[in-house]
Amino acid sequence: MKTINNLNPLFLIRLAIATIFLSHSLHGVLNHTVNDFGEHYLNKVGFAPFGVYVAWALMAFEIVGSIFILFGKFLKYIVPVFIMILAMGIVLVHYPEGWYVVGPGRNGMEFSFVLILSLIAICIPVKGRR
């Protein structure tokens, strides 16, 4: 898909998605909060005694997966995993809080919804796009 300036608009969506997931995962790694997430949250919602391992696996996947998304590689393998991560986040965290992230509510699922649809969009075959 080409535009007047030869910029693929889906690259901008991939850039946004990759930036969001990469910054989210690197923040946890660089601020040493991955173990806390595993111990104090994942273990309590049913992942015990493997919460810390699951947390590190998620962070590693998000880092590597973000780079693949940025470059548009292995999307049919990477995107479904990101969607599953977001769906679990909706079920475990965001749905009970409602729709809105801020404003009329707090910590809702609207941001995850936009990310899921954006992930789907970058995987839909477009005529003329590989």
Smallest CA-to-CA distance from 85 within 35, 13, 37, 15 is with 37
- Which residue stretches of the chain are H helix? 9-30, 34-36, 51-71, 75-89, 110-123
Q: What is the pLDDT of residue 21?
A: 97
Q: What is the pLDDT of residue 99?
A: 94
Domain assignment present for residue 128? The answer is no
Domain assignment present for residue 82? The answer is yes
Could you give the number of structural domains in the chain? Answer: 1
- Which residue stretches of 44-91 are H helix? 51-71, 75-89
Per residue in 107-128, pLDDT (tens digit) is 999 999 999 999 999 998 777 6
Domain assignment present for residue 77? The answer is yes
Residue showing tokens 């839909």: 124
Its pTM surpasses 0.85: yes
Residue 7 binned pLDDT confidence (cut-offs 50, 70, 90): confident
Residue 4 binned pLDDT confidence (cut-offs 50, 70, 90): low
